[in-house]
Amino acid sequence: MSGIPSRLLDGVEAVGRFSLSIVIALGRFGAFLGHAVGLLLTPPLKTRQFLARIKFVGFNSLPIVLLTGTFTGMVLGLQIFIVLSRFGAEAFLGPAVALALIRELGPVLSALMITGQAGSALTAEIGIMRITEQIDAMEVMALNPRRYLVVPSILAGVIAFPLLTAIFDTVGILGAYLVAVKLLGLSEGTYFGEMQTFVEIRDILTGFWKSLSFGILVMWVCAYKGFYVGHGAAGVARATTQAVVLSSVLILVWDYFLGSVLP
Amino acid sequence: MITVENLTKAFGTQPVLRGVTLTVPRGEIVIVIGRSGGGKSVLLKHLLGLVRADSGRIEVDGVDITRLRGSALDAVRRRYGVVFQSGALFDSLSVVDNVAFPLRERTRLPAREIAARAEEKLGQVGLAGMGHKYPAEISGGMRKRVAIARALITEPEIVFFDEPTTGLDPILVNTIHRLIGDLHATFRFTALVVSHEIPEIFEIANQVAMLADGRIIEAGPVAAVQRSDNPIVQQFIRGEPGA
């Protein structure tokens, strides 16, 4: 009588404790963004930190975005050309590549690349500041560390992600052009002409809204993980891994959601 | 004056502070001693408003800071200077920018005035001309001195030192202690120092309080604490095993 019910009770208690911890963590995660948005709407904006973050997130991610964008476009050009040539529909290669990049691959792949390049570094930087008491030092100076570390990062994400996505799309289209026109002999006029016919402003807006929201999402997750890092070097390592994995998963989940609701 | 009354704090089921009562008189240096892991840093974090107490009061000139949040707490913190155990220097800023940081962010003083004050403060801690270096490029002793310069640049009324000499050689320990003593003689701030450096730290102390088992077990003038008949205090002061 006493053994089984008490074990059952322990199990229920463990489930309850786990559920509570999840709810508390989600609440803290949401409040973190809410606090940052509140600070963003109340001056002063820390301009120096913001410009440093633009360089950190945007400029520093440029090489990897250029490289991956070019090769993504080249692969797309090659594979779609092979498929379309089976149906004699090579003329649609330009719009197929452009739509795939602008609506889907550009925002998602560039966000994943920036997460690896800048998001992980952001988590590590803020995490190290936390464990070396630099964030405590700001607090006891009566300064709000979120205003210096989180707000500039999220704002930089909002600006840098769409710009880097546009660059990714552009070099991707040029990469596919190299393969399709220069290597496989498709006419230049067909490649670009059909693209102008089929790509609409709503496609560009879909890509824009996706990249903008990814910018907020990635910077939010990565700053949060750094801000609430565990102890020591192992804590920073764990937080960095979690930030990259969580950001990547959320990018794909959010991409599906946005893809469903945006035109 | 700072008064701590019956302060308690537990992390989970582990009690760390079990009713700490302590007074730091205005303009005096009070040293808090005690074994590692005894709750000294937790007590300090309460005084800084970084940790919330489970119960008890911390009054800074009559204002109970355990109930304060946001801008009200910041108003008290503006009177503070803090030297962290690790120095907590901003590693992305040069030494002079670290020292100037509180003035740059909290005042509207002209940039030239701030730079001049930062250089002056660096001179007072014996680091004149080192402002262009970064924290990673200077020694541990220098970092402590930069941290002291940064803590004092706003001319705070109350300064907290969290083990300011940990990890330094004996000569540097005495240098830092003398520096704290000299700066205190000049600026007359109220100071609370958490330290392990016994008996060297006693030279600059007005009062000593010993924290053990989550309570202040002995507090008073240095000579009185040194003569204490409490065996735990005597064991600790003599550095005997088991203390």
> Would strands B207-212 and B29-33 be described as parallel, antiparallel, or unpaired?
parallel
The residues spanned by each domain of chain A are 1-42, 46-261
For A29-69, the pLDDT digits (tens) are 999 999 999 999 988 889 999 999 999 999 999 999 999 99
**Is the domain of B69 the same as that of B164?**
yes
Domain end (from B155, B175, B196): B155
Q: According to the model, what pLDDT value does residue A3 have? A: 59
Cβ distance of B105 and A143 shorter than 8 Å = yes
Domain end (from B102, B120, B155): B155
- pLDDT over 70 at A2, yes or no: no
B158 Cβ partners below 8 Å, 6+ apart?
Answer: B2, B60, B79, B80, B81, B189, B190, B191, B192
Quote the minimal CA–CA distance from A38 to chain B in Å.
Answer: 14
- Per-residue DSSP letter, B103: H
Q: What are phi and psi of B232, to 5 degrees?
A: -65, -40
- Domain assignment present for residue B185? The answer is yes
Quote the minimal CA–CA distance from B86 to chain A in Å.
Answer: 7
Smallest Cβ distance to A136: which of B50, B89, B90?
B50
What is the C-alpha to C-alpha distance for residues B123 and B129, in angstroms, rounded to an integer? 8
What is the distance in angstroms between the CA of the first residue and the CA of the last residue of chain B? 31
Quote the minimal CA–CA distance from A240 to chain B in Å.
Answer: 19
- Domain assignment present for residue B6? The answer is yes
What is the C-alpha to C-alpha distance for residues B15 and B213, in angstroms, rounded to an integer? 9
The residue of chain A with its CA nearest to that of B76 is: A142
Look up residue A77 and give its two tokens.
């050009």
Taking a C-beta distance cutoff of 8 angstroms, is the pair A119, A221 a contact? yes
Q: According to the model, what pLDDT value does residue B140 have? A: 84
Look up residue A204 and give its two tokens.
């560009």
A27 Cβ partners below 8 Å, 6+ apart?
Answer: none
Q: According to the model, what pLDDT value does residue B243 have? A: 45
- pLDDT over 50 at A238, yes or no: yes
Distances (CA, A) of B122 to A23, A100, A212, B147: 48, 59, 45, 10
- Chain A residues with CB under 8 Å of B101 CB are 141
**Is the domain of B201 the same as that of B170?**
yes
Quote the minimal CA–CA distance from B232 to chain A in Å.
Answer: 31
**Is the domain of B53 the same as that of B98?**
no
- Domain assignment present for residue B85? The answer is no
Nearest partner of B187 among B151, B156, B150, B208, judged by Cα:
B156
**Is the domain of B60 the same as that of B166?**
yes
Cβ distance of B89 and A136 shorter than 8 Å = no
Chain B contact present for A43, CB below 8 A: no
- Chain A residues with CB under 8 Å of B90 CB are 129, 134, 137
**Is the domain of B57 the same as that of B175?**
yes
The residue of chain A with its CA nearest to that of B51 is: A136
What is the C-alpha to C-alpha distance for residues B165 and B146, in angstroms, rounded to an integer? 13
Q: According to the model, what pLDDT value does residue A1 have? A: 47
Residues of chain A with pLDDT > 90, as a percent, come to 83
- Domain assignment present for residue B163? The answer is yes
| Residue pointed to by tokens 């704002």 | A155
Q: According to the model, what pLDDT value does residue A202 have? A: 93
Taking a C-beta distance cutoff of 8 angstroms, is the pair B97, B109 a contact? no
Look up residue B90 and give its two tokens.
């901003």
- Per-residue DSSP letter, A115: I
**Is the domain of B109 the same as that of B40?**
no
The side-by-side arrangement of strands in the sheet containing B190-194 is B80-83, B158-162, B190-194, B29-33, B207-212, B215-221
Average pLDDT over residues B170-189: 85
Cβ distance of A137 and B91 shorter than 8 Å = no
What is the C-alpha to C-alpha distance for residues A110 and A60, in angstroms, rounded to an integer? 13
| Residue pointed to by tokens 């633009």 | A54
- Domain assignment present for residue B84? The answer is no
- pLDDT over 50 at B204, yes or no: yes
The amino acid that residue A205 corresponds to is L
Evaluated on CA atoms A247, A248, A250, A251, the torsion sign reads positive
Q: According to the model, what pLDDT value does residue B12 have? A: 84
**Is the domain of B75 the same as that of B21?**
yes
**Is the domain of B123 the same as that of B176?**
no
Average pLDDT over residues B169-186: 84
Query: Which of A124-138, A162-176, A242-256, B66-80 has the least mean pLDDT?
Result: B66-80
Q: According to the model, what pLDDT value does residue B174 have? A: 84
Query: Which of A126-135, B25-34, B131-140, B169-178 has the least mean pLDDT?
Result: B169-178
**Is the domain of B13 the same as that of B42?**
yes
**Is the domain of B134 the same as that of B169?**
no
Q: According to the model, what pLDDT value does residue A204 have? A: 94
- B150 pLDDT band (50/70/90 cuts)? very high
Cβ distance of B74 and A142 shorter than 8 Å = yes
Cβ distance of A142 and B106 shorter than 8 Å = yes
What is the C-alpha to C-alpha distance for residues B196 and B35, in angstroms, rounded to an integer? 8
Taking a C-beta distance cutoff of 8 angstroms, is the pair A17, A9 a contact? no
**Is the domain of B107 the same as that of B151?**
yes
Domain that holds residue B225: 2-79+159-238
Average pLDDT over residues B96-120: 93
Look up residue B213 and give its two tokens.
């088992």
> Would strands B55-60 and B2-11 be described as parallel, antiparallel, or unpaired?
antiparallel
Taking a C-beta distance cutoff of 8 angstroms, is the pair B126, B183 a contact? no
- Beta-bridged to residue B80, according to DSSP, are B158
Quote the minimal CA–CA distance from B152 to chain A in Å.
Answer: 11
| Radius of gyration for the alpha carbons in chain B, expressed in angstroms and rounded | 18
Look up residue A137 and give its two tokens.
């030092």
The residue of chain A with its CA nearest to that of B159 is: A140
Q: According to the model, what pLDDT value does residue A4 have? A: 67
Q: Which helix (H) or strand (E) holds B29?
A: strand B29-33
Average pLDDT over residues A74-102: 93
- Chain B residues with CB under 8 Å of A136 CB are 48, 50, 84, 88
Q: What is the mean pLDDT of chain A?
A: 93
Q: According to the model, what pLDDT value does residue B199 have? A: 81
Average pLDDT over residues A77-89: 92
Nearest partner of A97 among A182, A9, A168, judged by Cα:
A168
**Is the domain of B114 the same as that of B52?**
no
Domain count of the fold of chain B: 2
Quote the minimal CA–CA distance from A46 to chain B in Å.
Answer: 10
- Chain A residues with CB under 8 Å of B84 CB are 133, 136-137
Taking a C-beta distance cutoff of 8 angstroms, is the pair B7, B46 a contact? yes
Taking a C-beta distance cutoff of 8 angstroms, is the pair B213, B38 a contact? yes
- A214 pLDDT band (50/70/90 cuts)? very high
Q: What is the ipTM of this complex?
A: 0.89
Q: What is the mean pLDDT of chain B?
A: 89
Q: According to the model, what pLDDT value does residue B171 have? A: 81
What is the C-alpha to C-alpha distance for residues A106 and A205, in angstroms, rounded to an integer? 13
Distances (CA, A) of B132 to A19, B20, B119, B128, B142: 51, 43, 10, 10, 13
What is the distance in angstroms between the CA of the first residue and the CA of the last residue of chain A? 60
Cα B105 → chain centroid: 22
A111, with CB counted inside 10 A (0-12, 13-18, 19+), is buried
CATH of the domain at B15: 3.40.50.300
The residue of chain B with its CA nearest to that of A131 is: B88
